[in-house]
Structure 1
Amino acid sequence: MSLVKFRKSPLENLLAPDFLDFNANSLLNDRVWLKKMNEPALNIKEKKDEFEIELAAPGFSKKDFEVTIDNGCLNISAKKEISKEEKEEDYTRKEFSYNAFERSLQLPENVADEKIKAKYDNGILKFSLAKKEESKKMKPKVIEIS
């Protein structure tokens, strides 16, 4: 079972031969496209005993993240607000920024929820998702007919 379903990129629609009316402004106003632009990059590796996920989220700190598992879904969200105010005699300067994202990944059934580990280091949020031990297949039982 795959970890993430493949989804067509919005850019692929631009390359289709029947797409003739391209307008860059309409692309920038498309909510789906804007949401995708704000999603951090994600790498997923499947190994023998685990899945490894790396999510690029530079500029955040550990406390900015919220990670939950709900109905077989790994939900990752982060938000960060920064505000700075400078007051002088003849002016006031106030700056602020806000950055947030959400990502959700449907986990395969063979992931052991209780063994998921996460670590944030140098702008990369890394997950280790241990696989459940496969249940041994029992040999079929032969029932004699009397």
Structure 2
Amino acid sequence: MTNVKFNGTPFERTLTSLVDDFITEMPAIFKTEVKNPNIKGFAPVNIIEKENEYQIEVVAPGFEKSDFKISLDQHVLSISVDKKEETNTTTDKTIRKEFYLRSFKRTFTVDDKLDTDKIEAKYVNGILIVTIQKKENIKPASKDIEVL
């Protein structure tokens, strides 16, 4: 019996090469992200519409209330945290470090239908909740018009 080496079709070779390159590069992508705490993070949000308000819930565990900066400039609401890497001053040796408190910034366009004078924020159990009141719909006064 003779062994015959089969290299596949050109398509199979190209696909195999792409998959091999992807698998080879994948750990490098994750190492950069995980090991570099200076890379800005991404805080996931939920935006909830209620009858009289909108709520933006930002998942940001591990921070203090004072870490958040919330600003409104020309109809753009910005929520950010600028967190510097803390240096460990103890003599303890970290065996494995898998999480960092990272800086992040999220921006949202605020519609004219919202009352920008009525924006509130609170931080509860690792979730920042920003509440923006809707403007009241002012209905024009109704009146009877006499025909002359």
Question: Same fold judged by TM-score > 0.5?
Answer: yes
Give, in angstroms, the shift of residue 80 of structure 1. Answer: 2.4
> Which residue of structure 1 lines up, in the alignment, with residue 81 of structure 2?
78
> Which residue of structure 1 lines up, in the alignment, with residue 54 of structure 2?
51
- The secondary structure found in structure 1 opposite 2:29 is helix
Identity %: 32
CA contact (8 A) 1:79 1:98 kept: no
Q: Which has the larger radius of gyration?
A: 2
> Which residue of structure 1 lines up, in the alignment, with residue 113 of structure 2?
110
> Which residue of structure 1 lines up, in the alignment, with residue 8 of structure 2?
none
- The secondary structure found in structure 2 opposite 1:136 is coil
The amino acid across from 2:61 in the alignment is: P
- The secondary structure found in structure 2 opposite 1:84 is coil
TM-score, structure 1 length as denominator?
Answer: 0.62
Give, in angstroms, the shift of residue 102 of structure 1. Answer: 0.4
Q: How many residues align?
A: 109
> Which residue of structure 2 lines up, in the alignment, with residue 61 of structure 1?
64
**1:121 & 1:98 partners in 2: Cα distance?**
17
Give, in angstroms, the shift of residue 93 of structure 1. Answer: 6.6
**1:73 & 1:110 partners in 2: Cα distance?**
14
**2:138 & 2:42 partners in 1: Cα distance?**
36
- The secondary structure found in structure 2 opposite 1:119 is strand
Unaligned runs of 5+ in 1: 1-19, 30-36
Give, in angstroms, the shift of residue 103 of structure 1. Answer: 0.3
- The secondary structure found in structure 2 opposite 1:38 is coil
> Which residue of structure 1 lines up, in the alignment, with residue 138 of structure 2?
135
**2:64 & 2:82 partners in 1: Cα distance?**
10
> Which residue of structure 1 lines up, in the alignment, with residue 124 of structure 2?
121
Give, in angstroms, the shift of residue 122 of structure 1. Answer: 1.1
CA contact (8 A) 1:66 1:76 kept: yes
Greater strand content: 1
TM-score, structure 2 length as denominator?
Answer: 0.61
The amino acid across from 1:28 in the alignment is: I
Alpha-carbon distance change, 53 to 45 in structure 1, aligned in 2, over 3 angstroms: same
